[in-house]
Amino acid sequence: MAIFAATKKLTSTATDYNWVKLGVTDTSNKLQSYANKSLSVRRIIPKESFDNLENYLFIERLVDFICAEKIPIADAVYSIGLNLLKEHHVSPKNIHQIKAEYSFEKIDCLYNKKYPNEFDLLGIVYQSLITEGEKNKSGSYYTPKTLVKEILQGIEFDSQTQFLDPACGSLNFLLSIDGIQPEQIHGVDIDAIAVMIAKFKYYLKFPDTTVTPKIYQANFLAENNLFDSTDTGCLKNIIKNQFDYIITNPPWGALQSFGHYPKIKSGETFSYFLVKAYDFLRKNGNMVFLLPKSILNIRIHADIRKFLIEQTNLKKINVHTGSFSGVMTAYVSLLASKQTIAPVFEIAGSVHSKTAVNAQTDYLISMVSEQDSDILKKIENKGEHTLADSVWALGVVTGNNKEKLLNQPLFGSEPIYTGKEIQPYVLKKPIKFIVYDRSQFQQVAKEEIYRAPEKLAYKFISKKLQFAYDNTQSLFLNSANILIPNVPTLSIKSVMAFLNSELFQYWYLKKFDDIKILKGNLLQLYFPVLSQEQDHVLSVLTELSDRINKVNEFIYHFYQISGTEQEYIKEVLWES
């Protein structure tokens, strides 16, 4: 085991054992390419940040050039920024201000280049140069521009309104507010290069301004308001009870501990930002935060939910669709104000009681409306059995897909299905093949599971329940999970029908709304008791060419879901 000494704390005992089993002696690439994103050296160009995706190839080549020439990121960003100031005719005084503040090297080949018109060109380049591991450690991912616009809808202000973004990054939020003036903008970020980019963009938006940007490199979470900054302007201009709006996308998941915030037990960075930002609001001020959707119902975030419900006037929570490059989570934005606490708040257009949230053990915030409650009661009232007694398994973990997955069948190989071939009810034709030698794989399930006469396979990474039937004793890769259900009164095809139905998809979405189909979540679904005749009919329906519609009709009728309720369910699924 000596070969793992340098990475002992980064891998589990099981992983170490599997690498020894497979004869792996060089683990550096494994650590960089495995699920351990904190060590990943992969670079991701954030497509969602572009004004024009036709510029993607230009950025890709630019990033490749900077990396190949080993140009320091700060020098590259500085050189491109100076070019943009020159090309956009920013006043000489403001250009001088930037040059006086930063002493990075100007790289002539970058300074003299022609760049496409992109609002956040500097931010895109910077995000593309930072490795996935660095982003993961800091929890730093910039907000997509379409999402910025969604979050800023409804912002009302006048010439006296003061704005702060305490995790401003490249200042996308505040610079995207229509009509905002330079004297209204305040920004803080711990990342020095991000702050430099924010200042470049500030001058690009206000080329002739005489107002020095109040954008500072500092740790907003430092104790009291004594930031980790030697800039006295920061201490002068970022003070408590000053701001009418605090709008931000704080770091997610970058766990740390601040003893001066005892009410936060989770160590979650965005929770600290919420608590501290509230102190910086004026009376009747508002804070708008973009946060992972898990803030609503994960137990570890009970502390910040309690704070939001009991200490702030939580007004609204909006649910957003789409994704960040490199980020796999759903997210919400919330609006809370510093004023008398109202008894209700709004989630996705539905009114919810704060008293009801207070009554929950962990202050859970449910997305369920009254109409949802009526439908869910119909489902749950017929629930009798779960999948608890079923057989579960992971597909084959090869340890090296590039070497062990074949694009063409060879002698001694057999097809292996991946998650891509799974669709509701049936499998697409397999496109990969494998020589099935169990001793050469990192992890495998029991042989009898793969070779079961009947089994279901489902996608693990998916927002939708997609279960396919297999009676060919085929292999599956670990992008698919395997289920051999054991539910009283239900055949395997009837279980599949319920899981693929619109009603169960809607139920799962309302309960979890995750992008992973987790065993723990599936175990919380309850299945009804069917007569022998009902089970037979439902099983037969799964074999018809029009199976999707026929199964949905059967299940809606079984649960007595009205036509109006069916239309509502379809609308919810469509919007998700």
Domains assigned to the chain: 2-34 (no CATH), 391-575 (3.90.220.10)
**pLDDT tens-digit series, residues 450-492:** 999 999 999 988 889 999 999 999 999 999 999 999 999 999 9
Residue 209, pLDDT above cutoff 70 = yes
Structure-block tokens of residue 462? 């998916």
**pLDDT tens-digit series, residues 269-301:** 899 999 999 999 999 999 999 998 888 878 889
Looking at residue 539, its amino acid is: S
What is the C-alpha separation between 322 and 166, in angstroms, rounded? 24
Considering only CA atoms, give the Rg of the chain: 27
- Residue 350: CB atoms within 10 A of its CB come to 15
Strand order in the sheet with 475-476: 432-434, 414-417, 475-476
What is the C-alpha separation between 91 and 97, in angstroms, rounded? 10
pLDDT at position 32: 46
What is the C-alpha separation between 27 and 30, in angstroms, rounded? 5
Give kind and range of the element (H or E) at residue 316.
strand 313-320
Structure-block tokens of residue 27? 């683990």
What is the C-alpha separation between 344 and 347, in angstroms, rounded? 10
Residues 6+ apart with CB under 8 A from 297: 364, 365, 366
Least confident of 154-168, 195-209, 332-346, 510-524: 510-524
Q: Three-state DSSP class for 25? A: coil
**pLDDT tens-digit series, residues 333-358:** 999 999 999 999 998 778 888 998 88
Instruction: Write the burial class of residue 89 (CB in 10 Å: 0-12 exposed, 13-18 middle, 19+ buried).
Output: exposed
**pLDDT tens-digit series, residues 144-166:** 888 899 899 889 999 999 999 99
Identify which of 456, 405, 385, 382 has the alpha carbon closest to the alpha carbon of residue 426: 456
